[in-house]
Amino acid sequence: GGAGEGPLVPCLMGASLRGVGVEALLDSVVALLPAPEDRPAPSLTYGPPEATKVLTRGVEDPLVALCFKVAHDPHRGALAYLRIYQGMLGKGMVLAGAGTGSNLAGAPGGGGSGGGKGGGD
């Protein structure tokens, strides 16, 4: 087959530690991937199936996030990587794990609801 007979898959390469290709990658994400508003809102099921709730993605709504990785940094301690579905994460916030009840503290200082972006997909 020739060009134009099938889907094209972009392939981007770079070196993030040196900052090579990072800007091109971010520009490609914005240009090629759908915006969160163009996709269906995610839903959350916690408990029985009838407890399913469609999330709003609003920054004023309660925080809903998924911690997908915890890493240890020798200078900063435990670092938690979160995907924020709804709400806003602020400095000094303490989050409770829905499944375990364990606490996850935000960066020290401040408080309240400032300092983070939410609502992204």
Tokens in use for 13? 């390469």
Selection from 32, 27, 33 nearest residue 14 by Cα: 27
Is the pLDDT higher at 9 or at 107?
9
Q: Name the burial class of residue 87, with classes exposed (0-12), middle (13-18) and buried (19+) by CB atoms within 10 angstroms of its CB.
A: buried
Tell me the CA distances in angstroms from 21 to 6, 13, 17, 32, one per residue in order: 26, 7, 10, 16
Task: Look at the block and give the residue holding tokens 């971010």.
Answer: 26
Q: pLDDT by residue (tens digit) across 3-27?
A: 667 788 888 888 888 889 999 999 9
| pLDDT value, residue 74 | 93
CA pair distance 86, 63, nearest whole angstrom: 5
DSSP H helical segments within the chain, as ranges?
22-32
pLDDT, tens digit, 9 for 90 and up, residues 65-84: 888 888 998 998 888 888 88
Residue 121 pLDDT level (bands cut at 50, 70, 90): very low
